[in-house]
């Protein structure tokens, strides 16, 4: 989270209070100051705002002014963080003093990372990825924001250095050339959001897939490895995890030709990025009997499934609603059993997510009910999320499977090279059941509850015939740690390309969440830096804490800049993932939290050994049972990897141990004594003050 001043915002001044505004008025304001929210004020002060959601719901024409909105004071930074954490759909909160708009708390804090991301020179895929970028529009910041030109010039130099193809354009030129450009590059998230809104107001189109901010580009660069999917999935199969690929290749049957023709007549364009809106005229026939359920259609077509993670490890934002619920990035699967022998994990976009059905009607929930009815002790988990094959590979790679588990993945075009793998052809299921086209929107992946039932039954039969549901569960049920080659490709080659990792006789590999980073964390790393030749500090990439990854990473980096033998990097896919260690983020010692802690330690060890680590330093943990379990597991497991565990007493101030929870409590009351417990950069970030890179 960052605080944006008035000069960063888009503000329209009017003589009188308006009840609605035109799209033309908003577009004229946005071209000068691209933002996700336009504020309206008179000489008396702020009286309303218009968000992108308001614009989309009104179709970009006469847009009602929102007169009822959340606002905070400048010193309510911790309250703002809680609001953002509790409501993933809120991205901005106006800050008001005496009725006047003074700024805004902004969820997107990529500004903190713009000067601090790891060098692209240390990424083996930089040259190949950037040089392959064609038909790019590089959008200049608005003239009213000259402070962004430094980042714009850096992006331009990066593109030049690696021979990317781009054209520098203004926001207006971007709109005119939207069909000519494959990718729209913008300085930061605020510019990106504003550009998308401006484009919609001028053209009525929402082309989300084209707009990329600088930080998102760096995230994509981290994920740019084009994996050999046969090799990738083959590794899991060799370790005892079966893989099934959901496919829908073209065919020549009469059913296919008839159905495809009917779908094409409904939506002539091949790609339709306003599908939820254009589905409304067909809602009654498409949703069929569920259209009569109060609130069902409106709830489903709200388009709740938005991504909260970076391009490296994408997952759905958590949310709650009557029919759509996401927790810890997982879409709710109904009727999951408490006890089970194996787990069936689903990965992929729209169909896997269940974009057009309620929680109880996704194909995962239906499959779970079938398994329960048949007395098969298997759990189904919906790991669906938007993103291409690379995002899916990253998501799969960061999941800890056990021998006997099953992967069901929907991957783009993988079936063409999937020899030796199980494939599940969705058209087979559709044709066998003579499914009418009215139960599909534009393709076999955007379907209603009748079709998810057909798919679930087809998948069940396929898994049963393959013996995956009845085969004996292996006695060795230890979770699979990340494969060595996978760590090389998805971690080492992204952060340490060209680095001699064998040059130190002793090296510490430390992991912190830092929620927030305190003098206790700093003392721990300073000791490690004194006692070993080099320290690799992995800041947990997972964004399941009160402070975002950008905030926590910046806190650590700024606090440790004076230590030349410390390298601060993101933790990557394999360490600190909430899917592997949910108990840590819930701070609840229940369920299998002890096994989760051991899984975490083994994943850490697999990564740390690649860095040739000889030591891991940990702080004492007298209070938090989940962290204490890590401390107990490390000396038991790490010697297998040649890593020594060093437990360091907690850092104290005035006879009291420093903890993140104590700092967070002090921050709620804006206690200035907080500067005695945390480095200056940490306190500045807590209070949303500027943190200038040194």
Q: What is the reported pLDDT for 694? A: 66
Q: Is the pLDDT of residue 471 over 60?
A: yes
Q: Is the pLDDT of residue 372 over 90?
A: yes
Q: Which residue has the tokens 């049963």?
A: 464
Of 421, 432, 398, 410, the closest CA to residue 468 belongs to 421
- Find the angle CA(44)-CA(48)-CA(50) to the nearest 5 degrees: 145
pLDDT digits (tens, 9 = 90+) for 107-135: 999 999 988 988 888 888 888 889 988 99
Q: What is the reported pLDDT for 638? A: 97
The CATH topology of domain 112-222 is: Rossmann fold (3.40.50)
Q: Is the pLDDT of residue 270 over 50?
A: no
Q: Is the pLDDT of residue 276 over 70?
A: no
Q: Is the pLDDT of residue 672 over 60?
A: yes
Q: What is the reported pLDDT for 414? A: 61
Between 415 and 24, the higher pLDDT residue: 24
Alpha carbon distance 555, 564 (integer Å): 17
Q: What is the reported pLDDT for 340? A: 94
Q: Is the pLDDT of residue 508 over 80?
A: yes
Domain with CATH 3.10.580.10 in the chain: 2-107
Q: What is the reported pLDDT for 415? A: 53
Q: Which residue has the tokens 């001043």?
A: 5
Q: Are 257 and 427 in contact (CB under 8 A)?
A: no
Q: Are 21 and 12 in contact (CB under 8 A)?
A: yes
HEC per residue, 185-248: EECCHHHHHHHHHHHHHHHCCCCHHHEEEHHHHHHHHHCCCCCCHHHHHHHHHHCCCEEEEEEC
Q: Are 671 and 660 in contact (CB under 8 A)?
A: no
Q: What is the reported pLDDT for 564? A: 96
Report which DSSP code applies to 118. Answer: P
- The superfamily CATH assigns to domain 500-686 is HUPs (3.40.50.620)
Alpha carbon distance 613, 599 (integer Å): 18
DSSP string, 317-368: PPB--SS--EETTEE--TT--SS-SEEEEEE-SHHHHTTTS-GGGSHHHHHH
How many CA within 13 A on the CB side of residue 162?
21
Alpha carbon distance 356, 196 (integer Å): 24
Structural class in CATH, domain 2-107: alpha beta
What are the structure tokens assigned to 651, written together? Answer: 């850092």
pLDDT digits (tens, 9 = 90+) for 176-233: 999 899 999 999 999 999 999 999 999 988 777 788 898 888 877 765 554 567 778 8
Q: Is the pLDDT of residue 315 over 50?
A: yes
Element (H, E) at 503: none
Q: Is the pLDDT of residue 593 over 60?
A: yes
How large a percentage of the chain has pLDDT more than 70?
93
Q: What is the reported pLDDT for 277? A: 67
473-494 exposure pattern, b = at least 16 Cβ within 10 A, e = fewer = beeeeebbbbbeebbebbbbbb
Three-state SS for 18? coil
Alpha helices in 14-162 (DSSP H): 23-30, 52-57, 77-86, 126-131, 149-161
pLDDT digits (tens, 9 = 90+) for 36-87: 999 999 999 999 999 998 998 888 889 999 999 999 999 999 999 999 988 8
What are the structure tokens assigned to 121, written together? Answer: 């020179």
Q: Are 225 and 388 in contact (CB under 8 A)?
A: no
| Residues making up the chain, counted from first to last | 694
Average pLDDT of the segment spanning 605-620: 95
Flag the least confident range among 39-43, 421-425, 527-531, 558-562.
Answer: 421-425
Of 414, 350, 413, 404, the closest CA to residue 382 belongs to 350
- Angle separating helix axes 593-610 and 625-637, nearest 10 degrees: 50
Q: Is the pLDDT of residue 601 over 80?
A: yes
Flag the least confident range among 171-175, 314-318, 593-597, 599-603.
Answer: 314-318
Q: Is the pLDDT of residue 435 over 60?
A: yes
Q: Is the pLDDT of residue 303 over 90?
A: no
pLDDT band at residue 22, thresholds of 50, 70 and 90?
very high
Distances (CA, A) of 538 to 567, 618, 660: 9, 13, 18
pLDDT digits (tens, 9 = 90+) for 512-540: 999 999 999 999 999 999 999 999 999 99
Alpha carbon distance 491, 611 (integer Å): 10
Q: Is the pLDDT of residue 318 over 60?
A: yes
Alpha carbon distance 157, 151 (integer Å): 10
Q: What count of other Cβ atoms lies within 10 Å of the Cβ of residue 292?
A: 10
Of 13, 1, 43, 80, the closest CA to residue 550 belongs to 1
pLDDT band at residue 304, thresholds of 50, 70 and 90?
low
Q: Is the pLDDT of residue 603 over 60?
A: yes
How many CA within 13 A on the CB side of residue 171?
28
Q: Which residue has the tokens 């440790």?
A: 560
pLDDT band at residue 348, thresholds of 50, 70 and 90?
very high
Average pLDDT along the chain: 89
Average pLDDT of the segment spanning 622-639: 89
Flag the least confident range among 9-18, 298-307, 425-434, 682-691.
Answer: 298-307
Q: Is the pLDDT of residue 311 over 50?
A: no
Q: Is the pLDDT of residue 582 over 80?
A: no
What are the structure tokens assigned to 378, written together? Answer: 């298997």
Q: Is the pLDDT of residue 495 over 60?
A: yes
pLDDT digits (tens, 9 = 90+) for 236-257: 888 899 999 999 988 899 999 9
Q: What is the reported pLDDT for 346? A: 97
Q: What is the reported pLDDT for 219? A: 75
- CA dihedral of residues 350, 210, 91, 310 (deg, nearest 10): 70
Distances (CA, A) of 603 to 272, 640, 641: 41, 13, 11
What are the structure tokens assigned to 239, written together? Answer: 């370790």
Q: Is the pLDDT of residue 273 over 60?
A: no
What are the structure tokens assigned to 269, written together? Answer: 């364009």
Domain with CATH 3.40.50.620 in the chain: 500-686
- Find the angle CA(305)-CA(263)-CA(425) to the nearest 5 degrees: 70
Strand pairing of 45-51 and 2-5?
unpaired
Q: Which residue has the tokens 């309206």?
A: 40
Q: Is the pLDDT of residue 417 over 50?
A: no
Non-local CB neighbours of 333 within 8 Å, separated by 6+ positions: 359, 362, 364, 365, 368, 380, 381, 382
What are the structure tokens assigned to 457, written together? Answer: 């039954």
């Amino acid at each position: 989270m960052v605080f944006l001043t008035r000069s960063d915002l888009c503000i329209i001044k009017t003589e009188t209070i308006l009840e609605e505004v035109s799209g033309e008025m908003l577009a004229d304001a946005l071209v000068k100051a691209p933002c996700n929210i336009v504020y309206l004020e008179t000489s008396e002060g702020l009286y309303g705002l218009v968000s992108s959601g308001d614009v989309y719901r009104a179709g970009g024409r006469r847009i009602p002014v929102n007169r009822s909105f959340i606002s905070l004071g400048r010193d309510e930074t911790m309250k703002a963080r809680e609001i953002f954490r509790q409501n993933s759909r809120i991205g901005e909160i106006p800050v008001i003093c005496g009725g006047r708009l003074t700024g805004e708390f902004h969820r997107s804090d990529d500004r903190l990372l713009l000067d601090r991301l790891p060098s692209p020179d240390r990424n083996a895929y930089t040259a190949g990825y950037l040089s392959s970028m064609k038909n790019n529009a590089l959008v200049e910041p608005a003239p009213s924001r000259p402070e962004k030109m430094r980042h714009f010039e850096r992006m331009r130099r990066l593109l030049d250095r690696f021979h990317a193809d781009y054209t520098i354009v203004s926001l207006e030129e971007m709109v005119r050339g939207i069909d000519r450009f494959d990718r729209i590059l913008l300085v930061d998230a605020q510019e990106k959001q504003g550009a998308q809104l401006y484009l919609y107001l001028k053209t009525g189109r929402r082309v989300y897939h084209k707009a990329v901010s600088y930080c998102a580009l760096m995230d994509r660069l981290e994920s740019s490895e084009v994996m050999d999917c046969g090799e990738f999935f083959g590794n899991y199969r060799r370790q005892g995890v079966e893989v099934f690929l959901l496919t829908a290749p073209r065919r020549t049957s009469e059913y296919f030709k008839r159905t495809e023709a009917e779908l094409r007549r409904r939506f002539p364009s091949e790609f339709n990025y306003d599908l939820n809106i254009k589905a409304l005229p067909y809602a009654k026939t498409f949703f069929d009997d569920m259209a009569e359920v109060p609130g069902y259609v409106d709830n489903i077509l709200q388009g709740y499934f938005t991504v909260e993670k970076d391009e490296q490890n994408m997952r759905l934002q958590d949310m709650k609603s009557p029919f759509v619920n996401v927790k810890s990035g997982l879409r709710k699967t109904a009727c999951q059993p408490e006890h089970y022998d194996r787990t069936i994990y689903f990965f992929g976009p729209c169909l896997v997510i269940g974009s057009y059905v309620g929680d109880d009607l996704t194909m995962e929930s239906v499959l779970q009910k079938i398994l329960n009815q048949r007395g098969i002790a298997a759990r189904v988990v919906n790991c669906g999320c938007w993103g291409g094959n690379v995002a899916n590979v990253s998501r799969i790679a960061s999941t800890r499977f056990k021998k006997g588990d099953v992967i069901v993945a929907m991957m783009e075009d993988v079936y063409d090279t999937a020899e030796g793998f199980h494939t599940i052809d969705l058209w087979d299921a559709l044709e066998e059941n003579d499914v009418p086209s009215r139960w599909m929107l534009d393709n076999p992946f955007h379907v209603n509850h009748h079709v998810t039932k057909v798919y679930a039954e087809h998948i069940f039969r396929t898994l049963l015939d393959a013996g995956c549901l009845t085969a004996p569960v292996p006695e060795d049920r230890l979770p699979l740690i990340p494969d060595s080659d996978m760590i090389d490709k998805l971690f080492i080659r992204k952060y340490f390309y060209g680095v001699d990792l064998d040059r130190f006789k002793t090296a510490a590999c430390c992991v912190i969440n830092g929620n927030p980073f305190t003098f206790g964390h700093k003392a721990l790393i300073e000791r490690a830096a004194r006692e070993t030749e080099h320290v690799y500090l992995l800041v947990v990439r997972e964004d399941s804490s009160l402070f975002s990854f950008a905030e926590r990473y910046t806190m650590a980096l700024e606090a440790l800049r004076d230590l030349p033998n410390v390298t601060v990097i993101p933790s990557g896919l394999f360490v600190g993932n909430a899917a592997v260690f949910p108990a840590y983020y819930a701070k609840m010692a229940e369920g299998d939290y002890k096994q989760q802690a051991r899984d975490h330690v083994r994943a850490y060890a697999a990564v740390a050994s690649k860095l040739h680590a000889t030591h891991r330093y940990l702080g004492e943990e007298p209070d938090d049972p989940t962290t204490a379990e890590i401390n107990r597991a490390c000396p038991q497991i790490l010697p297998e990897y040649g890593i020594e565990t060093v437990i360091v007493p907690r850092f104290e101030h005035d006879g009291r141990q420093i903890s993140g929870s104590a700092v967070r409590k002090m921050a709620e009351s804006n206690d200035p004594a907080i500067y005695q417990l945390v480095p200056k950069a940490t306190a500045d970030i807590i209070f949303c003050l500027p943190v200038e890179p040194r």
